[in-house]
Amino acid sequence: MLTDTFVHVAGVGLATERSLWEQGCPNWDAWLAEPERFDADPASRATVTRELEKSRRALTFGEHQYFARKLRQRHAWRALGAFPEHTAYLDIETDGRTGGDAITTVGLYDGTTFRCLVRGEDLHEFPDVISHYAVIVTFFGAGFDIPLLQRKFPHAPLDQIHVDLCPLMRDLGYRGGLKRIEEDLGIERSPETKGLTGRDAIWLWRDHERGRSGALERLIAYNREDVVNLEALAKIAQTRLAEATRCGTLLELRNPRRRAPRIYAG
């Protein structure tokens, strides 16, 4: 949906964007081909044209930093699918402390391959690994994962577009943590990890430090399911948010008293 997006242009909000679509301007190319045809008031045609030219150039050359700056976090989901080979679903586990040194594992999934960086083994490689991605997808990452990673790796290039699914699922009427929402959506976990929580991840790490056989493997399996399931959650959120945005019901969805119906990942 990124190339259909206009809200990253100064002066263009949801109502103006929807008006452009209704005028027959579905995407950047349509505007750039005939800017005189469309009205983006209160934004000027010159402003819209200039920003869309920059947007087209940034997307062509893979300059994700441009969109990370321009898209407010509430609209970052629109970049899902725009950088398919450079998207990382990310989740960290900790030893229960609150500083950057609390990180025990960082799970990364690119839609095909899962990698888990482990403290004492290859966690130090995180800055290089994350530099290859344009989009980071998390669940409550803005409040937990990203701040801890910034403390642990203050020089890491965390300039990616960050899609935090926690507030997006709340916009869609879902409450609770990742496991609760997975249950609501019918996303199943393996028998090996079903019922495990972040607190269990702390104890698994402590068991690993004590030398308990299989503890690290189970922790990694838990971390893997966290990040792999984020992909399914992101696809559901993107589809429903795009539909709500196009039909003008996004603000209604953000009413906290409204409970969304159950839907299933398939």
pLDDT digits (tens, 9 = 90+) for 206-226: 999 999 999 999 999 999 999
Question: For residue 138, which of 115, 169, 112, 174 has the smallest C-alpha distance?
Answer: 169
Do 115 and 23 share a domain, yes or no? no
Do 147 and 36 share a domain, yes or no? no
What CATH number is given to the structural domain containing 204? 3.30.420.10
Do 105 and 187 share a domain, yes or no? yes
Do 13 and 129 share a domain, yes or no? no
What is the rounded average pLDDT of the residues 85-110?
95
CA dihedral 179, 183, 189, 193 (to 10 degrees): 40
Do 91 and 204 share a domain, yes or no? yes
Do 223 and 96 share a domain, yes or no? yes
Q: Does 252 reside within a domain?
A: no
For residues 90 and 144, give the distance between their C-alpha atoms in angstroms, rounded to a whole number: 12
**pLDDT score of 17 more than 60:** yes
Do 218 and 90 share a domain, yes or no? yes
Do 50 and 118 share a domain, yes or no? no
E strands in 40-138: 87-94, 103-109, 114-118, 135-138
54 band by pLDDT with thresholds 50, 70 and 90: very high
For residues 36 and 44, give the distance between their C-alpha atoms in angstroms, rounded to a whole number: 11
Do 182 and 110 share a domain, yes or no? yes
Q: Does 248 reside within a domain?
A: no
Q: Does 259 reside within a domain?
A: no
Q: Mind listing the pLDDT tens digit for each residue in 115-148?
A: 999 999 999 999 999 999 999 999 999 999 999 9
Q: Which domain holds residue 14?
A: 2-61
Q: Does 135 reside within a domain?
A: yes
Q: Does 73 reside within a domain?
A: no
Do 41 and 106 share a domain, yes or no? no
- The domain tally of the chain equals 2
Q: Does 31 reside within a domain?
A: yes
Which pLDDT score, from 0 to 100, does residue 250 have?
A: 66
Do 119 and 205 share a domain, yes or no? yes
pTM: 0.91
Q: Does 70 reside within a domain?
A: no
For residues 216 and 212, give the distance between their C-alpha atoms in angstroms, rounded to a whole number: 8
Q: Does 125 reside within a domain?
A: yes
Do 18 and 149 share a domain, yes or no? no
DSSP 142-158: TTTHHHHHHHH-TTS--
